[in-house]
Chain A
């Protein structure tokens, strides 16, 4: 395993994909893809870099959504301050919960993420006056003014969310290829060794969980802005599950796997749901096939081709 570079071929490929997506498919579909790719990045960062499996990233996505809904609708905040505050709210809550969660490892860690996510969902249902309960928050503004531009058309929403995704993507790539990222990788590879070397493993975990929580909340904020309302499903367990499935299908070995997984999941579900109401079964089949036969996910196919070509050119 050689040093991770930044930027690399993946950076170029992902930027290209994001640039051509709206030409190939309806704008709303492309927008969904980049929003969920952003959410998936939070799982990819945790699982791929630090080896932490979170079953509850939907909690932070939901926190981002609801913060956005409340700030935009009830407090008249502008779009940019709202996105920033929602992101920070996710990072802060993830960081605080992490202080409790990182005390446990392995399956107990996973169970705690699950339990907190479930608690968040019921807290939202209970706090009906603020969150709208089962109805969610409706009536968010449908157009925004950002630095002299108006965001109202489908294209402008795509540009906003695509730029948001790229920022998160570049951040994760930069993190992975940094000294901080090398510590995360060392924790993934051999946690007790990292501790014995002098790394405060728990604090590194808290830091990366906070960053991932911020990214998830950011995607939730974009989702609320894009939909024009906050559905309670944004904080349901199903959304945690969905972004985890996207991450695994796409592959967690590279942040580029997040967009691969998101494209696959959303395009396939869009195509299949027209044909068959039980399309989720086919997604499950795809997940099983990938876990069994392609543990590196879809993105690893590209990596293998690149490795093979590299091997051939340096060999010959």
Chain B
């Protein structure tokens, strides 16, 4: 299901001049991004630039007031959050959004089960009857490096491990596009390195749309970088050229870059 789109180098996601308005406040204006399949496309910008608003518009949490979002050849501007997941789009959240009272295993199993629509309607037998899902759950947990903690209550995991679980939940959907909202926020140095490698590895299988404040990671792993400020796009280029872009320097990087 997630592999419905196979590796052409065309755009998998096209955001065409979308705008999001909260009352009188224009949070996002005339925003356009085109994400190429099997690339890492990062979105950077100062706090309040509208990055998470952009994510919410793309993933359907808060559909845009204007503009068009096209994903895998289909217009999904108004599609529901869950319909987008089945079309192959998954996301992680800036603020960890897991099931703290359920086990780590159950968190990921639920995410996998969601992909198998029929399975989630089964009411006459136990979930454990599906051994294949159990295996896949363990594999996913191994990918994000927390398989040793599968029996723990998710809320008892360390912050870094919760962030890893957050990514695992998105990966379990076997997406063709994964939207990661500040996956490295609050991670320890070791976790940052491991997660960076993990994200880099993802582009073998899917497109990655990444919001991240860790600039050295963004500039080292991204294929394209979009820079936002005050709800608008101010630059889009390769990491190397973004580094030297004047508009970006003034708006965001300041003197530190």
B82 close to A199 (CB less than 8 A) = yes
Contact A1 B103 (CB under 8 A): yes
Does B102 lie within 8 Å of A185, measured CB to CB?
yes
Q: Is the CB of A179 within 8 A of B97?
A: no
Q: Decide: A196 near B110, CB < 8 A? Known: A175-B123, A189-B102.
A: no
Interface: A183 (CB within 8 A): yes
Residues in chain A near residue B122, CB distance under 8 A:
178-180
Instruction: For the complex, give the distance between the alpha carbons of A233 and B110 in Å.
Output: 42
Q: Decide if B123 touches A179 in the complex (CB within 8 Å).
A: yes
B152 to chain A, nearest CB (A): 11
Chain B interface residue count, CB cutoff 8 Å, equals 38
Number of chain A residues close to chain B: CB under 8 A? 28
Residues of chain A contacted by B102 (CB below 8 angstroms): 1, 185-186, 189
Within 8 A of A (CB), among B66-99: 80-82, 85-86, 91, 93, 97-99
Is A238 on the interface with B (CB-CB < 8 A)? no
- What chain B residues lie within 8 Å of A3 (beta carbons)? 106, 126-128
Complex CA–CA separation, A3 to B129 (angstroms): 12
Chain B residues within 8 Å of A199, by CB: 82, 114, 120
The complex places the Cα of A91 from the Cα of B257 at a distance, in Å, of 64
How many inter-chain residue pairs (CB < 8 Å) link A and B? 94
Query: Chain B contacts of A180 at CB under 8 A?
Result: 120-123
List, in ascending order, chain A residues with CB within 8 A of B173's CB: 197-198
B119 proximal to A (CB < 8 A): yes
181-201 of chain A: CB within 8 A of chain B: 181-183, 185-186, 189-190, 192-201
| A242 close to B (CB within 8 Å) | no
- B127 CB to closest chain A CB (Å) equals 5
Q: Does residue B135 face the partner (Cβ distance < 8 Å to A)?
A: no
C-alpha gap A178/B127 in the complex (Å): 6
| Alpha-carbon gap, A51 to B115, bound state (A) | 23
